[in-house]
Every structure is written in structure tokens, then in C-alpha cells.
Structure 1
């Protein structure tokens, strides 16, 4: 099967292995989505001042914007995306975006503007419609969840979340590189693990498999089904080897369980399709965090979307200086407070795992009228809350 790749040296390394299961038709590397959709600054190869053939090729395509047409005209069924090339230094000239290195390799005296990462992120939001048009011309879009493991993790994760939340025909593969300091010099096992997942997606029995991406983040254990067509699933949480919680029948490709007690957990997925056996996730050990009070904290950690109502409630009843989260996702702040990266705050803070207990304690002490006013004001966010919370609030 043919594949187009919008990626970096990481995905280029994947294709060097014999186990890579696709035939690469178009490979766009070393460029940002902003550059891809910009107007050209025409230059010939002989005007690019370097003898490095890779630099010549990358700069020539970047300046002349030759990559987009190749992708738009492609008949490949699959597009694979890794976002590490977004880390390149980007400049803006007359409304178009380029790699700074591309302009450094030509003799023209160009008055361009350096682009900060937060401004690059905001500009990408404005280009999301163009990205979606490109993505939807493919049968599958494979998002590789890979982070550089440095100060730009939040930036890359912010872009990844934009794509994840907007691309419907996506499949997701986590690189599992959390312990790797330099992802572009990762152990062979990292590349092999990703390629093995790609092989399963591209296999002849893809339709009869239960493939999913799984994660334990904080106290949330989740699975995302790597199958695009409609299917119905039942998700069941096992604790210490026994059934513990169970979802309703659903066609959602994503399911998460909040873990409140220490133990060994895994998720069993059953698809309502004849001939496909249920499949378990890996087993994860969860250690419950200690109870925390918010009274001595100046900062609070941003939770996931379904728990934003908790944050609103805690902020409504306490005074905080700021929120620890992803400033690329909330460039204008949240609830009137500035968003900080974790490494910007040197003191202890109220962790997101403790928000539920704090929120429930506040609700318990609320007058009925005050409680109903809160529910009415934050009805939209409460729609994303867990069934337990909805039941507790009488929704």
C-alpha cells in the first residue's frame, strides 16, 4: 500500500527498516505545516549556497512550495504525520512562512521576521481548515505521538491535540519514547515497536483485529481504537484480575476510566463483530496519590476536558496565582489566569488528580440554589463529565 509522509528524521528512520510495511510515494520532511500552505519565494537549486544535497533539496522545496502540489495530486491511501519538523526555526516574509535556514542559504537581502513558537501555534490554528482538507483526501491518517523530550514538548503536544481533535479518519500510534533523551537518536527498539504497530494496521487481517493505542496518564487509563469504520464496543475495566467497571454499548473509539484506588488495572475491549475475540490492554500499576488540600497552594494543574468543571469550581472557591498546563493550547489564559509550563513553577501546586475530591467537597457544602446555578452556568462542560459525576449531580 502506498503512503505519503509529512514528518521528520524520526519517520525517515522508520522507513529505513525492512519491517516498514508501506511503499513511500511522497515524503515531506523538514518543513512546517505553515510553510506547506504558504506562497512561494521562487529560487532555483543553483541559487542555494550549499553542497549538501539534503539541504539543497529541503530549501528548494521550502522556498518554492513544491510539496503541497505533490500531496494534493497523490493517490496514496494513507498519510502519516509526525510533528518534529515543527521544531524548525520559522520566519515570516510578506505573509508566507519559511524555514529560517532556507533564507540563510540564498544571497538575497530579505527583511523577514522571526516567529515565536506561541505565534507559530496560533497561526497553525488559523490554517486548520487547510490541514483538514488535505487529511480528508486520504483513507487513513496515522498520527505518530512522538515528543522531543525537551522544553518544546508542550508545543508539539498542543499541535498534536489540534490534529487529534479535528481529524476523524485518524489512527494513533504512540512512540513510547518517554525515557529517550534524544528521540532522533533513539534505540532501535523504539523504531521497531512503531513499525510493528504499522504492520498490524497494514496487514491483510486488519479488519479482524482489535487494535488500539493505550495510555495511563495520571489516574486515567484509556484506549483509542485504531479502526475507522463504525463498530460497537464494550469496554470493561479489570482491577487485580477481576472485572471492576463496565461501559455501556457504544460506537465511540475512545474510552477512559478514572482510577480511584491503588491496584493493577487493564481494559478488556469487546467488539460486536462475529469472529473477533475480545482483547486486553497491558496491565498498569496505579498508586493512589495522597489526599491534598488546596488551601496552601498558589497554583493548580489543568485537567483534561471532561474535568474542566472541577477546575472552574475550585477556582471559584479559592485564590490562585496561575494554572499549570499547556500555554500553547490556552494562549489567552483560562478563567482570567495565566497558563504556565511546569518547569516555570518551582513550588508545590494542586495536582489535577486531587481536583475531584476538592470539587466534591465544595459541592457537598453548597446550598441547593447555589449548586443549581453552577450546573446551569457550566452545563456545556458538565456534558463531558463522567457518568459517576453526572449521577452525583443529578444530571
Structure 2
């Protein structure tokens, strides 16, 4: 019975076949078996595993995405995503700690591919596009669309790769500085963040792990941007009579104060002071005493104090100017001559120990001469307005002024304007 289908006659034995094949190359049967075993061992070292093959696919296909060709980009993205599915199915995050030759080869190729991915993200980012597409002869609207689609596709692919294969706590040494800068660029892309909020949260985790300084800058930037949005909403609510004195308006106002040094919108300061004046007027009228208005008055007074003591000269000056205009407009002879007028109540917000102390101690001695002049005019007008106020309001004013009165008296010895005004006010008291 034949054991092999070698095409020889039935009486040819296996041993004779082996001897004949060995003799044809000049080797004995024993030497030939040894050679086959050595070849098998060497083949094991040059074999390509599936992860190695996938890593090679990533390495070769990613550079193809540096193009505006939508067909090429689509095919490349299909290949990349299918390859990633295979990688995730057979590779675990423990790959980065595996010291075998095949694992080290895969991890090195993955790191190189991530670096190429970072370069592609920067290449397709809109900051590289011309500002005026109509005048540019190099790029056009269609190119901008293709770049944006490629950028979004790369972002999604990077997010999947990092989430499935790169644990946050093990990312140091895997994510290069080049890739980290690209990730930092991605989290500031508001459109991308709105479309893929989970991606932004994921990327922020890696930034916090690798560079806490960049993470803190992002948090501060996001806070300022949210404050800017609240500024716009606050100014809109101020125009709506139904929402003007609501808690929502107050919340927006408080949240918007953080970004004031950045936009320096003077109308924001004006609205704060006007709201404080309106709330005080309603609170001290006979029909509107409520806890709601008490809360609003206290909160708006704190914001007025912040405006009067703001480090930016332009904003501080505008706050003092607005207060002066309100005081002069509401404490006037024409308003006081009307028995039914309650205009003096609109000045009630300034009859406060903290606000008067701020004006007397810091406003009168402000380094900005214009601010100091406004503070002087405010105090002079108030001290001369006894007959324009109710008796109760005048007594409340003098009581609130007591805390800063020594400073005011000292100012009177330097500035002659105050000498007779203070003397007459205290004499009447």
C-alpha cells in the first residue's frame, strides 16, 4: 500500500524516495530533516501577525488622506475604519506593556500613525484656509468643505482609537507632543464640540492627564466664553419688561460679570446700575415690599460696588458717571416740586453704608482725576439735597454716611468745595 502520492511506482518505498531526493541535492536524509526544522524556525520570525498587518495598513493608508479628492478620502476612511475594527477585536490595551518583538513592532507603528494623524488634523484644520475664499485663487468653497469633512472624519477616528486602545492613565509616552497640540486644537473647535460632545469630554481627559496647564487654560477660556453668552442674554432680557426684574436676569447678570474686562461693554455697567435703582425704588414703595426684591437689591448692590471699584479705569469711570447722572436726574427741583413724585426713591440704592464708603474713601481719592471729579459731584449733590428728599431718606443718608464721615471731613480740609457743604449738612442734622 502506498503511503504517499508521489507519482512513483507501487513498489517504490518511502525510504528510497527520501534517499533519492536527498542524494539529488547532495544531502543525507538526516541532514535534510535538520535543514527543514531550521527553515521552520526562521519562518516563524519573519511571519507577519494580524496586528502587525493592520499596523502596516494604518501606516500606509493614513498619508493618502492628505488630499482634497473626496473619492480617495472616502475609500481611505472605509479602509481605516475596517482596519480599526479588526485591531480592536484582537488587540487589548495591554499591548503597550507587552515586551515581545511583535507587540513592540505594533506599538511603534501605532505611535507613528498617531503622529501622522496629528499632522493630518493640522493640515485639514480651517486655520489653514484663506480668509477670503472669493479672492483666493488657490482654494475654493468646495475645497473648504472637503477639508472640513476630512477633519471631522479624522477626529472621529482618533477618538475611537484612543478610547478603545489607549487608556488615559497610560497615555504618557504614547501620545506625542505633536498629537497633544492637535488634540488641544480640537477641543477649541466649538462646532465639533457641539456635534460630538462625547469626543470633547474624552479629549479633555487626555489633556488633563498629560498637560494640566493646558487643561486649566481651556477651563478658563470656556468660563469666559460662557460668560460672554450670558452677557448677551442679560442685555436681551433687560429689554423685556416682563423679564427685567426676574431671578433669571439676575443670574445672567452675575454670570456675565466675569468677562467684563474682556469685552468692556459699557451698556452692561449702565444696566446693572439702572436695575439696582429700579429695584430699590420698587422695594421702598408701599406696594412692593417682598423678599424677592430684597434679594435682588442686595445682589445688584454688590455688583454696583464691583463696578465702582473695578480695576479698569474706563469701566470704573462709566460706573461713577452713570451714578452721577441718576442722582442729578432724580434729585432735582422739578421732580421734588411734584407732590406725587417718588423719583427720590430711585436714588435709594446709593443710600447704603458700603456704597457711600466706597465713594468717599476710594472715589474721592481715585488716581483717575475724572473718577475723583465724578465722586466729588455725587457727594456734593447728595449733601445739598436735603430738601429734595423725604425726611426719612435724609436721616438714612446721614446714618449711612457716618462710617466714612471722618474721611469726608479730612477731604474737606483739603478741598474747599466740601467745607461749607458738610458744615451745613451736619448743622441741619
TM-score, normalisation: structure 2:
0.23
Q: Relative contact order (alpha carbons < 8 A, sep ≥ 6): 1 or 2 greater?
A: 1
Instruction: Report which of the two has the higher share of helix.
Output: 2
TM-score, normalisation: structure 1:
0.24
